[in-house]
Amino acid sequence: MKVELRTDVLTNNNLSADFNRDLFTKTNTLVVNLMSSPGAGKTTTLCETIRRLSSEFKIAVIEGDLATSQDADRIRETGAQAVQINTHGGCHLDARMIASVLPEFDFSEVDILFIENVGNLVCPSGYDLGQTHKVAVLSVPEGNDKIPKYPTMFMRTELVLLNKIDILPFVDFDIEMAKKDLEALNANSSIISLSARSGEGFDTWIQWIKDAYNACQKQ
């Protein structure tokens, strides 16, 4: 017996994503969906990013975790508004979760919204949240096999932040190989190498955000 499924299983998610995107577009809000495996340094990178941008932009964060508000608390210490979503075992945020917390923000007071997704290199890549850009964070201790082993994530992101380069002398990671692996999967993506601890490479990342924000205002 053959059963045809004619309805996209992500239909409800995509409807919510369209709702979110419409709101973000109307309010000229740049929305960046940050994804990575656990421990890649998303929160530390985000905290440093906020510190460097806060004098020029009004920033808010949606924080996704299975449990606790530890990362959201760290974000709030930078002065940015942070709203916590706990998935209680779910491996990703979806557009309906995002839509449910949007009323907590006054978008006349938000220039840039960062969504820090649940730490996972598989599930988050498949869900449109209505974001402007998808960015993956990869850390050098994870090794060179992550890009080819998790192709869907890197095929669907526009930028890879290669984090923790301050410890490159102590780990076995080849940046040029990572660039070649990424280009083979997604020629439209690129890598920015940085360290959230030392600040190396951060100027390039901050400029990328500013360029993305300016492009968002011209839509």
What's the pLDDT tens digit per position in 25-37? 999 999 999 999 9
| Count of residues in the chain | 219
pLDDT in tens, 106-159: 999 999 999 999 999 999 999 999 999 999 999 999 999 999 999 999 999 999
How far apart (Å, rounded) are the C-alpha atoms in residues 119 and 61? 16
Domain edges within the chain? 11-217
The answer to whether the beta carbons of residues 192 and 204 sit under 8 Å apart is: yes
How far is 195 from 197, CA to CA, in rounded Å?
Answer: 5
Residue 142 makes CB contacts below 8 A (sequence gap 6+) with: 37, 40
pLDDT at position 42 over 80: yes
CATH topology of domain 11-217: Rossmann fold (3.40.50)
